[in-house]
A and B are shown apart, each in its own frame.
Chain A
Amino acid sequence: GAVVSQHPSWVICKSGTSVKIECRSLDFQATTMFWYRQFPKQSLMLMATSNEGSKATYEQGVEKDKFLINHASLTLSTLTVTSAHPEDSSFYICSASGRGGYEQFFGPGTRLTVL
Protein backbone atom coordinates (compact mmCIF):
# COMPACT_ATOMS: atom_id res chain seq x y z
CA GLY A 1 0.00 0.00 0.00
CA ALA A 2 0.80 3.73 0.06
CA VAL A 3 2.03 4.04 -3.50
CA VAL A 4 2.71 7.39 -5.09
CA SER A 5 3.35 7.81 -8.80
CA GLN A 6 4.73 10.67 -10.81
CA HIS A 7 4.38 11.43 -14.48
CA PRO A 8 6.40 11.96 -16.52
CA SER A 9 9.53 10.34 -15.12
CA TRP A 10 11.64 12.60 -17.27
CA VAL A 11 10.98 15.53 -19.57
CA ILE A 12 13.04 17.71 -21.84
CA CYS A 13 11.66 21.05 -22.94
CA LYS A 14 12.74 24.24 -24.61
CA SER A 15 13.38 27.41 -22.66
CA GLY A 16 10.25 29.50 -22.30
CA THR A 17 7.77 26.62 -22.40
CA SER A 18 5.70 25.33 -19.51
CA VAL A 19 5.86 21.83 -18.11
CA LYS A 20 3.32 20.03 -15.94
CA ILE A 21 4.26 17.22 -13.57
CA GLU A 22 1.60 15.01 -12.04
CA CYS A 23 1.72 13.33 -8.65
CA ARG A 24 -0.86 10.68 -7.81
CA SER A 25 -1.60 8.66 -4.70
CA LEU A 26 -2.71 5.30 -6.05
CA ASP A 27 -4.17 3.54 -3.05
CA PHE A 28 -4.91 6.14 -0.40
CA GLN A 29 -6.39 9.58 -0.05
CA ALA A 30 -3.67 12.18 0.12
CA THR A 31 -4.90 15.09 2.15
CA THR A 32 -1.48 16.71 2.02
CA MET A 33 1.07 16.65 -0.75
CA PHE A 34 4.58 18.02 -0.75
CA TRP A 35 6.80 19.08 -3.63
CA TYR A 36 10.57 18.91 -3.35
CA ARG A 37 13.41 19.90 -5.59
CA GLN A 38 16.74 18.13 -5.55
CA PHE A 39 19.92 19.37 -7.19
CA PRO A 40 22.68 16.89 -8.08
CA LYS A 41 24.45 15.49 -5.07
CA GLN A 42 22.29 17.54 -2.72
CA SER A 43 19.45 16.96 -0.32
CA LEU A 44 15.78 17.56 -0.92
CA MET A 45 14.53 21.11 -0.65
CA LEU A 46 10.87 21.56 0.20
CA MET A 47 9.22 23.85 -2.31
CA ALA A 48 5.62 23.84 -1.16
CA THR A 49 2.96 22.04 0.82
CA SER A 50 -0.56 21.67 -0.46
CA ASN A 51 -3.73 20.51 1.22
CA GLU A 52 -6.58 19.22 -0.89
CA GLY A 53 -8.85 22.02 -1.94
CA SER A 54 -6.62 24.75 -0.54
CA LYS A 55 -3.96 26.98 -1.97
CA ALA A 56 -0.43 25.70 -1.64
CA THR A 57 1.90 27.12 0.98
CA TYR A 58 5.23 27.97 -0.58
CA GLU A 59 8.57 27.99 1.19
CA GLN A 60 10.52 31.17 1.38
CA GLY A 61 12.36 31.92 -1.82
CA VAL A 62 10.14 29.77 -4.04
CA GLU A 63 8.39 31.77 -6.74
CA LYS A 64 4.72 30.88 -6.57
CA ASP A 65 4.03 32.39 -10.00
CA LYS A 66 6.70 30.22 -11.54
CA PHE A 67 5.90 26.98 -9.77
CA LEU A 68 2.13 26.58 -9.88
CA ILE A 69 0.77 23.87 -7.63
CA ASN A 70 -2.75 22.50 -7.80
CA HIS A 71 -4.20 19.91 -5.44
CA ALA A 72 -7.71 19.62 -6.74
CA SER A 73 -8.48 16.10 -5.57
CA LEU A 74 -7.47 13.67 -2.86
CA THR A 75 -5.39 11.66 -5.30
CA LEU A 76 -3.82 14.21 -7.62
CA SER A 77 -1.51 17.17 -7.32
CA THR A 78 0.21 18.93 -10.19
CA LEU A 79 3.29 21.11 -10.38
CA THR A 80 3.53 23.38 -13.41
CA VAL A 81 6.84 25.03 -14.13
CA THR A 82 5.93 28.11 -16.13
CA SER A 83 8.26 29.71 -18.66
CA ALA A 84 10.96 27.23 -17.80
CA HIS A 85 14.60 28.20 -18.05
CA PRO A 86 17.78 26.11 -17.86
CA GLU A 87 18.23 26.97 -14.18
CA ASP A 88 14.93 25.19 -13.49
CA SER A 89 16.49 21.93 -14.59
CA SER A 90 16.37 19.64 -11.60
CA PHE A 91 14.92 16.49 -10.09
CA TYR A 92 11.44 17.12 -8.73
CA ILE A 93 9.98 14.74 -6.15
CA CYS A 94 6.51 14.72 -4.67
CA SER A 95 5.29 13.04 -1.53
CA ALA A 96 1.90 12.50 0.00
CA SER A 97 0.41 11.82 3.40
CA GLY A 98 -3.04 10.77 4.45
CA ARG A 99 -5.44 12.36 6.92
CA GLY A 100 -3.70 12.80 10.26
CA GLY A 101 -0.73 10.85 8.99
CA TYR A 102 2.80 11.82 9.92
CA GLU A 103 4.50 9.67 7.33
CA GLN A 104 5.15 10.88 3.80
CA PHE A 105 5.17 8.49 0.88
CA PHE A 106 7.43 9.52 -1.95
CA GLY A 107 7.00 9.38 -5.67
CA PRO A 108 9.80 8.19 -7.95
CA GLY A 109 10.70 11.69 -9.10
CA THR A 110 10.71 13.60 -12.37
CA ARG A 111 13.89 14.68 -14.09
CA LEU A 112 13.35 18.04 -15.85
CA THR A 113 15.89 19.29 -18.36
CA VAL A 114 15.37 22.70 -19.92
CA LEU A 115 17.37 23.40 -23.04
Chain B
Amino acid sequence: AQSVTQLGSHVSVSEGALVLLRCNYSSSVPPYLFWYVQYPNQGLQLLLKYTTGATLVKGINGFEAEFKKSETSFHLTKPSAHMSDAAEYFCAVSNSGAGSYQLTFGKGTKLSVIP
Protein backbone atom coordinates (compact mmCIF):
# COMPACT_ATOMS: atom_id res chain seq x y z
CA ALA B 1 0.00 0.00 0.00
CA GLN B 2 1.14 3.49 -0.71
CA SER B 3 0.69 6.55 1.44
CA VAL B 4 1.48 10.24 1.30
CA THR B 5 2.07 12.54 4.23
CA GLN B 6 1.97 16.28 3.83
CA LEU B 7 3.40 18.04 6.85
CA GLY B 8 1.39 21.11 7.73
CA SER B 9 -2.23 21.47 6.72
CA HIS B 10 -1.76 25.23 6.52
CA VAL B 11 1.34 27.20 5.61
CA SER B 12 1.55 30.98 5.58
CA VAL B 13 4.33 32.92 3.90
CA SER B 14 4.92 36.55 3.11
CA GLU B 15 4.83 37.71 -0.47
CA GLY B 16 8.31 37.32 -1.90
CA ALA B 17 9.37 34.73 0.67
CA LEU B 18 10.42 31.16 0.04
CA VAL B 19 7.64 28.59 -0.27
CA LEU B 20 8.34 25.12 1.08
CA LEU B 21 5.62 22.50 1.16
CA ARG B 22 6.63 19.12 2.50
CA CYS B 23 5.66 15.72 1.17
CA ASN B 24 6.81 12.29 2.27
CA TYR B 25 5.65 9.07 0.74
CA SER B 26 5.83 5.37 1.25
CA SER B 27 5.94 2.98 -1.64
CA SER B 28 7.07 -0.56 -2.19
CA VAL B 29 8.00 0.15 -5.79
CA PRO B 30 9.68 3.10 -7.49
CA PRO B 31 7.02 5.77 -7.37
CA TYR B 32 5.71 8.33 -9.75
CA LEU B 33 5.23 11.53 -7.80
CA PHE B 34 3.05 14.52 -8.50
CA TRP B 35 2.21 17.92 -7.12
CA TYR B 36 -1.17 19.45 -7.94
CA VAL B 37 -2.67 22.82 -7.15
CA GLN B 38 -6.37 23.44 -6.58
CA TYR B 39 -8.07 26.79 -6.52
CA PRO B 40 -11.49 27.10 -4.84
CA ASN B 41 -14.26 25.20 -6.61
CA GLN B 42 -11.94 24.05 -9.36
CA GLY B 43 -10.32 20.81 -10.40
CA LEU B 44 -6.68 19.92 -9.99
CA GLN B 45 -3.92 21.42 -12.08
CA LEU B 46 -0.63 19.58 -12.44
CA LEU B 47 2.34 21.60 -11.20
CA LEU B 48 5.05 19.04 -11.83
CA LYS B 49 5.81 15.35 -11.82
CA TYR B 50 8.66 12.96 -11.27
CA THR B 51 8.87 9.65 -13.07
CA THR B 52 12.49 8.78 -13.72
CA GLY B 53 15.74 10.54 -14.44
CA ALA B 54 16.72 13.90 -13.01
CA THR B 55 15.64 14.17 -9.42
CA LEU B 56 15.15 17.94 -9.49
CA VAL B 57 11.98 18.63 -11.38
CA LYS B 58 10.87 22.02 -12.58
CA GLY B 59 7.21 22.80 -13.06
CA ILE B 60 4.90 25.62 -13.94
CA ASN B 61 4.67 28.98 -12.20
CA GLY B 62 8.24 28.80 -10.89
CA PHE B 63 7.72 25.74 -8.71
CA GLU B 64 10.19 22.89 -8.42
CA ALA B 65 10.55 19.73 -6.38
CA GLU B 66 13.34 17.34 -5.61
CA PHE B 67 12.91 13.60 -5.34
CA LYS B 68 15.06 12.26 -2.51
CA LYS B 69 14.84 8.51 -2.42
CA SER B 70 16.85 8.15 0.80
CA GLU B 71 14.45 10.48 2.58
CA THR B 72 11.34 9.29 0.70
CA SER B 73 10.52 12.93 0.16
CA PHE B 74 9.31 15.12 -2.65
CA HIS B 75 9.15 18.62 -1.21
CA LEU B 76 7.77 21.49 -3.29
CA THR B 77 9.55 24.84 -3.35
CA LYS B 78 9.31 28.24 -4.95
CA PRO B 79 11.92 30.93 -4.33
CA SER B 80 9.52 33.85 -4.14
CA ALA B 81 5.83 33.59 -3.27
CA HIS B 82 3.24 35.54 -5.22
CA MET B 83 -0.26 36.39 -4.12
CA SER B 84 -1.62 34.21 -6.89
CA ASP B 85 0.06 31.17 -5.32
CA ALA B 86 -2.51 31.11 -2.53
CA ALA B 87 -4.31 27.81 -3.03
CA GLU B 88 -4.52 24.21 -1.86
CA TYR B 89 -1.63 21.96 -2.82
CA PHE B 90 -1.77 18.19 -3.03
CA CYS B 91 1.09 15.73 -3.27
CA ALA B 92 0.28 12.39 -4.85
CA VAL B 93 1.99 9.10 -5.56
CA SER B 94 1.06 6.71 -8.31
CA ASN B 95 1.20 2.97 -8.40
CA SER B 96 0.28 0.55 -11.09
CA GLY B 97 -2.56 -1.70 -10.12
CA ALA B 98 -4.96 -3.72 -12.20
CA GLY B 99 -3.64 -2.04 -15.30
CA SER B 100 -4.33 1.49 -14.20
CA TYR B 101 -2.21 3.99 -12.35
CA GLN B 102 -4.19 4.92 -9.28
CA LEU B 103 -3.20 8.02 -7.38
CA THR B 104 -2.89 8.23 -3.63
CA PHE B 105 -3.21 11.80 -2.40
CA GLY B 106 -1.92 13.53 0.66
CA LYS B 107 -4.38 15.49 2.76
CA GLY B 108 -3.34 18.74 1.21
CA THR B 109 -1.65 21.92 2.37
CA LYS B 110 -3.37 25.26 2.16
CA LEU B 111 -0.93 27.98 1.25
CA SER B 112 -1.70 31.53 2.32
CA VAL B 113 0.37 34.42 1.03
CA ILE B 114 0.51 37.52 3.20
CA PRO B 115 0.96 40.83 1.40
Q: Kindly identify, within residues 96 to 115 of chain A, every residue whose CB is under 8 Å from any CB belonging to chain B.
A: 97, 101-109, 111
Binding site for A on B (CB under 8 A): 32, 34, 36, 41-46, 49, 51, 90, 94, 96, 98-103, 105-108
Q: Is the CB of A93 within 8 A of B101?
A: no
The prevalent SS among residues of B at the interface is strand
Binding site for B on A (CB under 8 A): 4, 6, 32, 34, 42-44, 46, 49, 51, 57, 91, 93, 95, 97, 101-109, 111
16 pairs from A and B in contact (CB 8 Å cutoff): A43-B106, A43-B108, A44-B44, A46-B103, A51-B100, A91-B41, A97-B100, A97-B101, A101-B101, A102-B51, A102-B96, A103-B101, A104-B101, A106-B43, A106-B44, A109-B41
Chain B: minimal CB distance from A5 (Å): 10
CB nearest neighbor in A for B101: A102
The prevalent SS among residues of A at the interface is strand
- For B96, B98, B105, which residue has the most chain A Cβ atoms within 10 angstroms? B105
CB nearest neighbor in B for A49: B100
Q: Which 10 A-B pairs have the closest CB atoms?
A: A106-B44, A108-B43, A106-B43, A102-B101, A32-B100, A109-B43, A43-B105, A43-B107, A43-B108, A44-B105
* List of B residues within 8 angstroms of A57 by Cβ: 98
